[in-house]
Amino acid sequence: MPHPSDTASGFFARLAARVPPLLTAGPLAQYVPRMSPKSAKGFFLPCLPMTAPSAPSGPLWLHEIKHDGFRMIAQKRDDHVKLYSRHGTDMTKRFPLIVDAMTRLSVSSCMIDGETVVCGEDGIPSFDLLRYKHDDGRAFLYAFDVIELNGEDLRREQLEQRKAILWRLLKNEEGAETTPGLLINGWIEGEEADGAIVFEHACSLGLEGIVSKRKGSRYNSGRSPNWLKLKNPETVAVRRELEEDWGRRR
């Protein structure tokens, strides 16, 4: 079984390999944690992307891979960990690898947003492995946002700052993940590659698609025009959604 960093999605993570040095020198250096009296308590609806007809381009955007899995909010309070689906269903007991990874984080509290996935033998996330509960013990979280850290509500902070904080939280000094249960979902800056090119690569690798996010944006619950998704029409995920939609209309 290949490690996720060696799979297709690792291609995009490697393109973002220049990010760690930028946290201490460069445009991301300004984005370090700033404590405030704000706090995030309890579950709330996550930020959701809107469907876009085409991928945005330009330096005001960054682009991430969209994986075929379960959207998940992972919350830690001292030694207690909770995993919630996008609708608030408690999934804690189902994914032990993610729970263990969250427990190991050296912070008093945090809330991480991401996508829970299980990869098949080809290294591509397989929704069926999750849906039929075949490999829940191997499921890990592709983390792409941090909502709260040590009692500080980060939802009003800029996307770039949240990304920098998340990187510091989940990476060691060498830039490697500290635990297999929590992996950074790599992103590509709009200056590096146009959204259409990133989407083309994602499709060629058989991935579900991309989510493009506007820099400087806050984290808001519900559908956000600052998060735009574009799906690969050839994937199982799209065909599954079309079949489910057709079934509801019958």
What CATH number did the domain enclosing 92 receive? Answer: 3.30.470.30
Tokens of 96: 């032990």
27 or 202, which is more confident: 202
Residues 112-159 have pLDDT tens digits of: 999 999 998 888 898 889 988 877 899 999 999 999 999 999 999 999
pLDDT band at 239 (very low <50, low <70, confident <90, very high): low
Question: What pLDDT sits at residue 141?
Answer: 97
pLDDT at 237 over 80: no
CA distance 183 to 214: 22
Which residues are known catalytic residues? Answer: 66
The DSSP call for residue 221 is S
pLDDT at 175 over 80: no
Residues 64-111 have pLDDT tens digits of: 999 999 999 999 999 899 999 999 999 999 999 999 999 999 999 999
pLDDT band at 243 (very low <50, low <70, confident <90, very high): very low
Question: What pLDDT sits at residue 174?
Answer: 59
Between 8-15 and 195-204, two packed helices, what is the crossing angle to 10 degrees?
150
How many folded domains does the chain comprise? 1
Q: What is the domain extent for residue 102?
A: 4-32+41-249
Give the number of other CB atoms < 10 A from CB of residue 128: 12
Residues 31-65 have pLDDT tens digits of: 433 333 333 446 778 999 999 999 999 999 999 99
CA distance 112 to 124: 22
CA distance 173 to 23: 11
